[in-house]
Chain A
Amino acid sequence: MKRRVWLWFGIFVFLLGSFLACAAAKTWESQPEEFKGQTITVLITDPHSAVVESWKPEWEALTGAKVEMVVVPYASLYDKMMTDFITGTGAYDLICWPSTWAGDVMGGGWVLSLDELMQEYGYPDWDDVVPAIKLIVSWGGKIYALPYDGDCHMLYYRKDALENPEYRAKFKEKYGYEYNIPPKSWEEILHVAEFFTGWDWDNDGETEYGIAFIAQRKTQAMWSYLDIAMQYAAQPGVAPFFDPDTMEPQVNNPGWVEAMDVIQKLTKFAPPGLLSYGYSELRQAFVSGNSAIALDWGDIGILEQSPEKYGSKVKGLLGYGPLPGAMKTYDFRAKQWIEGYNQVNFLNFGGWVFSISRFSKNPVPAYKFAAYFTSPERSLLDVCGVHGYTGANPWRFSHFKNVDKWIEGGWSKESVTKYLETIQTILSDPKAITDLRIPGAAEYYDYLDLYLAEVLSGTKAPKDACDAIYNEWVKITETHGKEKQKKLYRESLGLPTE
């Protein structure tokens, strides 16, 4: 009797052991020759294509697989991807896309949930990923993408202007208070921008201006506006787009209108060409030194470092800060203003991610390839500038710690410390607000952009524009189905969906 038990126990131990051995072989780290003869196709755009290109030979040599890249212009990425999805073609295995499309791509169910793959093969140090980015790659509690890039707007300012004691004194004389460095609220920014507009404060013989931001139509100027709207219409952890109980758009509530008013005022303190500033114009203008303050993703920081490549005249002169807050904020649930300082971190655009198409025939090699180059050590090289400009910004805790690599990438120690500290603060904020992540987000945002453009060009009053956006948003919600949108919106916020 006893022997029988021992025998069974022995068999059990043997089976467990061999199972563990098998499981141990299943790791995210690619194994030699494991995908011999298989091909995966990656849909990607420049400059991210350069990143994949740089890891491709190594990985191909290691695993014996072949990586085909389909590189398309950024403007065609969405339609290229969607054409493939809606026709069920399945030409791509791995797709590099900006997570601001999550509502369509994840919400539409076009990409695989990675939970099983991550469980089976593991993932290179999930705890190293900053919380905001974890939020961005998930939908309804499941993970649908591998992170690759951390995106958020930050405030850039000219240290030589704002920190000049003489200017500070003059400012105090004029406005009766001393501004913070960097300015803490949009009320302050309005004054600072006004103060630094229209004179030559850096003594280069040219007139400078207060503030610059992206304002051209169809270059996603709405992010500049949302930076402000978040402060007046949202509170930490409370997304301001819709009322999650009724799916009523909030975009014309007093908070949003106030923000629209602020951005219209700011255009007066901006360079004259502001309305034709897309990404390239803004970044080029700011690093060539024409304004005191700018809003942008991490990119200006990188362009700042290389005068020879991007014509930067401000190397070492830039300071970095989080988005300014506001001195009051509108609580849409209570339908009233809350007086007092409010600052909200907002994950504009959310960063680029890699997903596996639902129609992919090779999900495993695709997963392992993406895991390969997004592992901590390898992805560090892509974000810190060692690999040149890649469009990827830091998104792992380890990226923020390894300052030496950044210095190798061309940064000065002082700049990079401040830069990383700023980004890390924003991305580690558990109450940071994500994008509007519901189906049709592209359409919602485009109407926001459209009427914002009318406000910026002065053809519409802030309140009218907000009302017009409200009407469009109601229409869009209706055509997608109000109940469905409400459920998905709640899902995207992590609220219970009854």
Chain B
Amino acid sequence: MRRDAIKFGFLFPGLLYLMAMAVFPLIWSLTLSFHRWKAATAAPRVFVGFENFWNIFFRDPRFWNSLRFTALYVALVVSIELTLGLLLAYILSERIRFRNFFRVLFLLPMAAPPIAVAFMWRMLLNPDAGIIVKILNALGVNMVRWLTDARFTPFVLMAVDIWEWTPFMFLGLLAAMQSLPISLYDAAQVDGASRGQIFWFVTFPLLLPIMVTLVLLRAIDAFKLFELVFGITGGGPGTSTESLSYYIYTVGFQYFDLGYACALSWVFLCIVLIMANFLLQRLRKEI
């Protein structure tokens, strides 16, 4: 009994706080998602049943387009960030000179506000005066094409995301590598295993669980991609970089079509939940 009191005492402050703050928004948005409410024009709310959801799935190519872009985006940036993070963490867990310096250096981009990152990159990528554009043009890469061709622009946006969030992967993986038991390595070295073998057969399996956590956290945040689109491309050229979260923002905060925006938010939540569950069930056995 006493133990029960203690265990709920530990859990409840956080849980109740979250519930108190989250319940109202959830109910509010769920209710609205069954209504049509063009709030900006002072029009009344009209109950429309599942019409919003029907429209999302069957009448809204923009939703599918933005979902496709977002999914591709998440898949690519998360895997590249994971690979790069792994590489860097591996190098910097070796005894290498200026190790601590690099460790701090590589963390920096993550600490910058995304909105500032977006504006800074917008400056670097300015088609006429951007320094990166000029340098790459001098190297013979037609950078302007990358910025204005709908087929290539998504990759520019991904590059910025990779710049900003590789540190997150790097940090998590480096920390994990630091705590790997040294005895395993000694044993492997005694057995005459090569560097590649040790990494592949010893380090990698040990890192797998944390990689899942990192991928999960990063994927959730990458799915919410907003600032970079908002600050750099506005979703263009064409609709090539319109992310789901940016589309919801447009519907909610520019059209003030709040019913539809809430319905979209719930669909968004379900998609992320499915993704998260997939990662957790498949790759991480027990919490």
Contacts and interface: CB of A to CB of B under 8 A. Distances in A.
A272 B233 contact: no
Interface stretch (A41-49, A244-252, A438-446): A438-446
B40 interface: yes
Contact of A273 (B40, B148, B235, B240): B148
Given A110-B42, A276-B147, A284-B129, A217 B254 contact: no
Interface stretch (A75-83, A136-144, A161-169, A224-232): A75-83
B179 interface: no
Contact of B257 (A281, A288, A443): A443
B128 A217 contact: no
Contacts of B230: 75
Nearest to A275: B148
| Interface range, B side | 35 or more
Contacts of A275: 147-148, 236-237
B128 A285 contact: yes
B119 to A, nearest CB: 10
Chain A CB within 10 Å, residue with most, of B125, B147, B237, B257:
B237
Contacts of B238: 217, 453-454, 456-457, 459-460
A109 interface: yes
A219 B234 contact: yes
B250 interface: yes
B109 interface: no
Interface string B23-52: 000000000000010111111000000000
Nearest to A105: B40
Contacts of A288: 128-129
Given A78-B254, A104-B41, A479-B38, A273 B234 contact: no
| Interface range, A side | 35 or more
Given A272-B148, A285-B128, A446-B254, A217 B235 contact: yes
A481 B43 CA distance: 10
A85 B43 CA distance: 12
Interface string A35-78: 00000000000000000000000000000000000000001001
A278 B127 contact: no
B12 interface: no
B127 A281 contact: yes
B266 interface: no
B163 interface: no
B149 interface: yes
Nearest to B149: A457
B179 to A, nearest CB: 43
A453 B236 contact: yes
A38 to B, nearest CB: 28
B250 A86 contact: no
A290 B128 CA distance: 9
Given A78-B254, A82-B40, A454-B238, A273 B127 contact: yes
B236 A459 contact: no
Contact of B255 (A271, A277, A446): A446
Contacts of A272: 127, 144-145, 148
Contacts of B236: 216-218, 275-276, 453, 457
Interface of B: 36, 38-43, 62, 125-129, 133, 144-145, 147-150, 230, 233-240, 250, 253-257
26 contacts: A86-B40, A86-B42, A86-B256, A217-B235, A217-B238, A272-B145, A273-B128, A274-B127, A276-B147, A276-B148, A276-B233, A276-B237, A277-B127, A278-B234, A281-B128, A284-B126, A439-B41, A440-B38, A443-B254, A446-B250, A453-B236, A454-B238, A456-B237, A457-B236, A479-B36, A480-B38
